[in-house]
Amino acid sequence: MLLSPSPRGADLGTRVREFIATVITPVESQYFADLAQARASGNAWKTLPLMRQLQEKARAEGLWNLFLPAGHGDEYAAKFGTTGGAGLTNVDYAPIAELTGRSFIAPHVFNCNAPDSGNAEVLLRYGSEGQKRQWLEPLLQASIRSAFLMTEPGVASSDATNMQATAIVEGDHVVINGCKWWSTGVGHADCELLIFMGLSDPNAHKYLRHSMVIVPRSTAGVEVVRMLPTMGWYDEPHGHGEVRLTDVRVPLSNVIAGPGRAFEIAQGRLGPGRVHHCMRLIGLAEHALELACRRAVSRTAFGKPLVNLGGNRERIADARIAINQARLHVLHAAWLLDTHNLSAINAVSEIKVAIPTMAQNVIDMAMQIHGGASLSDDFPLAAAWLHARAIRFADGPDEVHRGVVARFEIAKYRGAES
Ligand SMILES: Cc1cc2nc3c(=O)[nH]c(=O)nc-3n(C[C@H](O)[C@H](O)[C@H](O)COP(=O)(O)OP(=O)(O)OC[C@H]3O[C@@H](n4cnc5c(N)ncnc54)[C@H](O)[C@@H]3O)c2cc1C
C-alpha cells in the first residue's frame, strides 16, 4: 500500500500550499466582504470580480482543474492548462484537496469545486465527443457552471431507484417532467448545464430504468422555483435550488451514454466525488483545530488560559487523534480507488460515514472553545459545522453508506453460515 504522493503530486501540493498562503488567504476576508455587499444589493448570484482574478492567477500558475483523474483527464489537463499535462491519482490529489478544504473559496479558485468537478467527470468518462466539446470544455475553463439534478422533494431520494421525474424518449427527442431539489449550483448566473436523472423505462430492471440527460438551463420549461436555505444560509453565489421541469424537450443525443445507464454513471460520478468531499473535510477539521488551539492558549477565564480549564486539553488531543486517523482512512480509500476501482466501493462508504462526522465533532469542539463568538460571522466555524453536517446527507446519508459497509462485511461470512 503506497499512501505517499508521487514527486509530481508532492510538488503540486507545495505550490498549492504556497498559493493559498500568499494569494488566497490575504484576500479571503475581502472576498466575504464583497459577497456581503453583493448580497445586500441583491447581486450575489454570480462570480465576483475578485474570484475571477484569483482564478486567472491560479490558471496562470498551472494550478487548475487539479481534480482531473489520471488516465482520463490527461488530454484536457494539457489543453486547459494545469497539472503539467496529466491528471492526478487519488493519492496524489488527496493532500491537495485537503489544503483547499481549509478555505471556503480555494476549491473554486482552482476550479475543483463540487458539483462542477463531479459533473465534469461524468462527461469525461461517459460523454460523447460532441457533449465533451459543448459542455466539458467550458466547464474546465470555468466559463459555465453546472448542477446535478437527482434528489426529488416527493420521494425518499436516498433510494435512487425511487426517482419519479420522467425522461421519456419520443422519436429523436427526450421529454422531461418532474421536480428536483437540493440542486447545488443552480442559483449561479453562469449555471448553464443541468445533468438530470429521470425515469425512462419503468418496466426495465430497477437499475436500468433511469437515464442521465443533459438539459441546457435555458431550455423552455425549466424553472428554478426557489433557492433553499441551509439553516438560514443561501450559499451564494451557487446555492441549492428547487427546479421544476415541465414538458422540457431536448435532443436524444443529450442522453449521456444512452438510455438506462443512470445508475452506472451515478456510481462512477459519486465515488471520486465522495472521496473529494472527505479530503476537503480533513482540511476543514485541521483549520478548526488550529483555531481552537489559538483561542485556547490566548484567552483566560478563572485565572487560567482556556486550554487548562476542564477537559480542554483532552478534547484537543482527541481532535488531533481523530484527524490523523481520518486522514489515513481517506488515503486508504484513495489508494483502493486508484488500484482496485470498483471494489473500493465499501471503502468509499466507510469514509463517507466516518469523515463528515469526525469533522462535525472537531468543529463543534472548536466552537465550544470559542464561546458565543463561534456562532457569529467573525469566525468560519458555524459555516464549517453546517458544511460538515450537510455532507452527512449529500451524496447519500450516513445510514445508506453504513448499509453498504455492512453488506460487504457480512458477505465474507455468508459461506461460513451455510
Ligand atoms: C447541502 C446539500 C446539497 C445537496 N446537493 C445535491 C445535489 O447537488 N444534487 C442532488 O441531486 N441532491 C443533492 N442533495 C440531496 C441529498 O443527496 C439528499 O438529501 C440525500 O440523498 C437524502 O435524500 P432525502 O433528503 O430524500 O432523504 P430520505 O431519503 O427521505 O432519507 C431521510 C433519512 O432516512 C434515513 N434512511 C434513509 N435510508 C436509510 C437506510 N437504508 N437505513 C437507515 N436509515 C435510512 C436516514 O436517516 C436519512 O437521512 C444535497 C443535500 C444537501 C443537504
Supply the pLDDT for residue 270. Answer: 67
The residue extents of the domains of the chain are 7-144, 146-260, 263-417
Do residues 270 and 349 lie in contact, with contact meaning Cβ atoms separated by under 8 Å?
Answer: no
Supply the pLDDT for residue 85. Answer: 55
Sign of CA dihedral 395, 398, 402, 405: positive
User: Which atom of ligand 1 sits closest to the CA of residue 152?
Assistant: 26
Supply the pLDDT for residue 75. Answer: 76
HEC assignment per residue over 314-371: HHHHHHHHHHHHHHHHHHHHHHHHHHHHHHHHHHHHHHHHHHHHHHHHHHHHHHHHHH
Do residues 112 and 65 lie in contact, with contact meaning Cβ atoms separated by under 8 Å?
Answer: yes
Q: How far apart are CA 205 and CA 210, in angstroms?
A: 10
Q: How far apart are CA 117 and CA 185, in angstroms?
A: 12
Q: Give the residue ranges of DSSP H helices in 256-311.
A: 262-298
**Which amino acid is present at 107?**
P
Q: What is the mean pLDDT of each run of 10 residues along the chain (418 residues)?
A: 92 97 97 96 96 96 91 73 71 96 96 95 94 96 97 96 96 98 98 98 96 98 98 96 98 97 83 89 98 98 97 98 98 92 85 98 98 96 97 95 95 72
- β-partners of residue 173 are 170, 251
Residue 409: partners with Cβ closer than 8 Å, 6 or more residues away: 346
- Encode burial over 141-168: b for 16+ CB neighbours within 10 A, e otherwise: bbebbbbbbbbbeeeebeebeebebbbb
Supply the pLDDT for residue 72. Answer: 73
Asked if the peptide bond before residue 237 counts as cis, ω within 30 degrees of 0, the response is yes
In angstroms, what is the span from residue 344 Cα to ligand 1's centroid? 22
Residue 133's CB is within 10 A of a number of other CB atoms, namely 12
Q: How far apart are CA 64 and CA 54, in angstroms?
A: 11
Q: Residue 412 to residues 189, 353, 416: CA-CA distances in angstroms?
A: 49, 21, 8
**Which residue out of 104, 145, 149, 157 has the highest number of ligand 1 atoms within 8 Å of its CB and is therefore the one to mutate?**
157
Supply the pLDDT for residue 79. Answer: 73
156 lines ligand 1 (CB under 6 A): yes
Do residues 138 and 146 lie in contact, with contact meaning Cβ atoms separated by under 8 Å?
Answer: no
Cell of 366: 472548536
Nearest CA to ligand 1 atom 45: 399
Cell of 127: 460523454
Nearest CA to ligand 1 atom 49: 397
In angstroms, what is the span from residue 153 Cα to ligand 1's centroid? 10
Residue with cell 431520494: 157
In angstroms, what is the span from residue 156 Cα to ligand 1's centroid? 7
349 lines ligand 1 (CB under 6 A): no
In angstroms, what is the span from residue 397 Cα to ligand 1's centroid? 5
Q: Quick one: CATH architecture of 146-260?
A: Beta Barrel (2.40)
**Which CATH number applies to 263-417: 3.90.380.10, 1.20.140.10, 3.40.190.10, 3.40.50.300?**
1.20.140.10
Supply the pLDDT for residue 81. Answer: 57
CATH number of 7-144: 1.10.540.10
Supply the pLDDT for residue 388. Answer: 98
Nearest CA to ligand 1 atom 17: 394
Supply the pLDDT for residue 53. Answer: 98
Q: How far apart are CA 281 and CA 355, in angstroms?
A: 7
Report pTM. 0.95
Nearest CA to ligand 1 atom 44: 399
Nearest to 10 by CA among 234, 312, 2: 2
Residue 393 sits at φ, ψ, to 5 deg, of: -105, -50
Supply the pLDDT for residue 418. Answer: 43
Q: Give the residue ranges of DSSP H helices in 2-147.
A: 7-19, 25-40, 49-60, 74-79, 90-101, 106-109, 116-126, 129-131, 137-140
